[in-house]
Every structure is written in structure tokens, then in C-alpha cells.
Amino acid sequence: MDFVADPAVDPSARRHVDDGIVVVADGRIEAAGPASALLPGLADVDVVDHRGRILMPGFIDAHIHYPQMEMIASHGEQLLAWLRRYTFPTETRFGDRAYAEGIAEAFLDELLRNGTTTAVVMGSVHPVSAEVIFAAAQRRGLRLVAGQTMMDRNVPESLQDTPQSAYDAAAALIEAWHERPGTRLHYAVTPRFAASSSPAQLRLAAQLRREHPGVFVHTHWAENREEIDWVRQLYPQSASYLRIYDDFELLGPRTVLAHGVHTEPDDLEVLGRTGATVALCPSSNMFLGSGLFDLPRLRRAGVSLAIGTDVGAGTSFSMLRTLADAYKVTQLRRAVYDEPDARALAVDEAFYLVTLGGARALGFEGSIGRLSPGMEADFVVLDPQATPLLALRTSRAESLDERLFALMMLGDDRAVAATYVQGQRQDVAGRLPGGSGVR
Ligand code: GUN
Ligand code: ZN
């Protein structure tokens, strides 16, 4: 199953073949279609039988922090206090290469166990944290956008860089890792958020972007009211939080802004003009009590959108669980903001956002997000029978829509029967490696 267009624009955008086969060679899709049509033409090919399951493009997590993996589920605080109490002390450890390597491997295992094959990842302030996650992703042939966070103020001294040290480190990492031939790695210039970067640092971040066209920019934006008030005080010359990034020329089609919970009317124009992507993080927003984003309004305005788990503020690596949370945010918003006519998140829209929609938002639609010939063979295979409850609910389902909705509301890593990266089955759940044909 996949999408060839945005289902909100084209209701026939979803493709599904009941007994389908995907033919993979050299890490790419060679053909996809009904097994009855394709199977007779395949000789000397290993066939992996996934009948009864649903195969789709691997999930895309558009915002996640790997150094926060070990502090997921830390109790009791909202954003700024949570950063001070839990996040910064944990991130301090990532200046140690061996320590960072251990977590980087565990982190990629966990992504793959959850069917996520592409992620946009924040490191810590230490350049070695970015180096380590790139190296680990490279060994697995994964597509990854990552960078070390830049932060030169308002964080503990031991975690502060300087505008120049962050610039120099990022320039070296871009040289070493960004879109090198034969890799699927992309560098993101990563000022953590406007509150922790001085104007001098944002200027140098923009300079990196100018000097290296094609690098990503990855930051946080408009997550929490206290954060927003603080940032506005720190940058009184800018007309809004989003305008700070705009004024410093950090917004473009390769900019990923995590959150966008509390937006201002002017923001839609800025997002539309620059093509920046908003990575919505529903699990994190509910965990930190940040607020309820307005997904229908952002969709109507044509804003480039993707979904992020935002682990460790998000409470699951699972994009299925994160979609369940996105659904609940749209439901809550209808009630809390008295918007009875607003729609709850549609099933197609949900799965689109974590596959082709996410790929488009990141500019990867030529490589991933669809099951079309020539695309990279990154898949997730979902099992609608994975748990007794899923199996029961699925047995009562009368349509693919219902089966998919059950997977998204009841599923998690247990529903991921297999994950493939460039056609290779990932042995992350103790399962056997597979062959080159995937059914
Ligand atoms: N804003 C600045 N840093 C962070 C972070 O680590 N997590 C979240 N959720 N928001 C942030
Ligand atoms: Zn975040």
C-alpha cells in the first residue's frame, strides 16, 4: 500500500494491491503489482511471504533527539523546566564518543524495530555526537538527516558552544558527511531554538546555509507559551517567533521546524513563502502539556507538514502510536476550542504524512515514500494480527480503512513484522534475514 499523491487533494491517491508483490534488486524497487502478474516472470528469486500483512514505505520521523532516548518518560515538568531538570544533564554525556556510540546503536535499533527508516535527528552540542550517529547510520545504509545542536547561551555552561566553535564544527561535519556519494546522509544546521542561540550564532548558522546550499536547517519553533514569551523578549526586533528565523534567513524548503503549536496569523504567509516544513509532534505536546496544534488549518493553508515523535519528550518511537496521538489532538481540539466542524485526522492523511507526505516535506520524494520502480526499497511490514486485540478488531473490519485505523490506534512496535532498508531485512527483533523478493 502507498500513496501517489496527497489524499486530501486527490481522494484516489491511495494504491493498494490485495495480494501484491514488490520486486527488489540492488536496494531499489524493480517492480510492484499483483502477485498473479509478477510472480510468473520471476525465476531464481527468493520470495519472502508476508501474506496477511500490509507492506508500505518505511516510516519517516521528522523530529527526534537521539541523546534523549535514555531520559524518555521523565516525570512532572513542562518544557523549560524539563530541559533544565532532565534534558541538559543527560545530553552532557554525549561528549564521550564511546558513550554516544552505544546510544546511537540502540537508537537506530529502536527506530527500525518501529518501522522507521528515515529520521531527522538532533544530536547534542558535541560535534562527536553527530559524527557517531552518521557513522552508525552509514553502516546500516540508512537515510538520516542529523546535526550537532548549536547553543551558545541560556544553557548550562558545560553545554555551551560559541558561534565560532559551532560554525567550525558544523563546517567540518558537512565536509565529512553531507550527501557524500554512496551515502544517504544529510547534514542539518541545528540551532536548538532561538532562546539558546545568540544573534551572532543565528547569523553564522545562516552563513553555513549560504555556503553549503542543500544542507538542512533543523530547530524548534512555537512549542510552549512560556518559551514563546521568553523568545520574544530575547528578540524584540522580530515581529514574531517565526520572523526571527525568517529575519536571520534560516527558512527555506529544507528547514524543519519542530512543533508550531501556538501560531500567529502571519505565520502561514511566512511558511508559504519560504516552504519551510513544520514537524508536528503530538505525543510530545501532550506529554509536556504544550498544547493542541491546529492540523486542519495548517493543511488547508498548504503548509509543508510531517510528523515527529520528538523522543525524549515524545513517549514512543512508534509512528503508529504517534499517529494515534495526532488523531486524539485533532479530536481534543474540536472540543476544547469549540470547533465542532473541524475534522478528526483521516486515516489516509495520517499514513500519507508518515510516508509520501514526509518524504515530500523533506524533499526526498524522488527516492523514498512510494512503492514505485526506481525508488529505494525501504519498507515497513505491518501485521494486523499482531496482538489479540488487533486481531479481534481486524476480524470485524469491513474495509482497508478500518484495518489501517485499527493499526494506527492499537499498534506499536509489536505490529511491525519486518523492516527493510534498501531491500535488506533488518534483524532488529530477532527475526531471520530475508531475500530479495518481498511479498
Ligand atoms: N526546545 C528546545 N529544546 C528542546 C528539546 O530538547 N525538546 C523539545 N521538545 N523542545 C525543545
Ligand atoms: Zn525536539
- Please give the chain's pLDDT, 439 residues, in tens: 999 999 999 999 999 999 999 999 999 999 999 999 999 999 889 999 999 999 999 999 999 999 999 999 999 999 999 999 999 999 999 999 999 999 999 999 999 999 999 999 999 999 999 999 999 999 999 999 999 999 999 999 999 999 999 999 999 999 999 999 999 999 999 999 999 999 999 999 999 999 999 999 999 999 999 999 999 999 999 999 999 999 999 999 999 999 999 999 999 999 999 999 999 999 999 999 999 999 999 999 999 999 999 999 999 999 999 999 999 999 999 999 998 888 899 999 999 999 999 999 999 999 999 999 999 999 999 999 999 999 999 999 999 999 999 999 999 999 999 999 999 999 865 433 343 344 4
| Protein residue with least CA distance to atom 8, ligand 1 | 313
Contacts with 322 (C-beta within 8 Å, 6 or more apart), sequence order: 61, 281, 282, 283, 307, 308, 309, 314, 316, 354
| Protein residue with least CA distance to atom 5, ligand 1 | 83
Cα-based distances in Å from 142 to 2, 85, 155, 378, 419: 20, 32, 32, 9, 12
Residue 284 C-alpha to ligand 2 middle, in angstroms? 8
Residue 220 C-alpha to ligand 1 middle, in angstroms? 7
Cα-based distances in Å from 399 to 18, 226, 238, 343, 406: 12, 44, 50, 20, 11
Give the 3-state secondary structure of residue 329.
Answer: helix
Ion ligand 2 — residues with CB < 5 Å: 258, 310
Ligand nearest to the CA of 290: 1
Give the 3-state secondary structure of residue 274.
Answer: helix
pLDDT given at position 427: 81
Give the Cβ contact number of residue 159 at 10 Å.
21
Q: What is the model's pTM? A: 0.97
Measured from the Cα of 195, ligand 1's closest atom is 2
| Protein residue with least CA distance to atom 11, ligand 1 | 220
Pocket test for ligand 1, best of 91, 129, 192, 287 (most atoms within 8 A of CB): 192
Q: Cβ(284) to ligand 1 under 6 A?
A: yes
Nearest to 312 by CA among 124, 113, 165, 45: 124
Measured from the Cα of 65, ligand 1's closest atom is 6
| Protein residue with least CA distance to atom 1, ligand 1 | 220
Contacts with 31 (C-beta within 8 Å, 6 or more apart), sequence order: 22, 23, 38, 373
Q: Cβ(83) to ligand 1 under 6 A?
A: yes
Contacts with 348 (C-beta within 8 Å, 6 or more apart), sequence order: 3, 7, 13, 14, 401
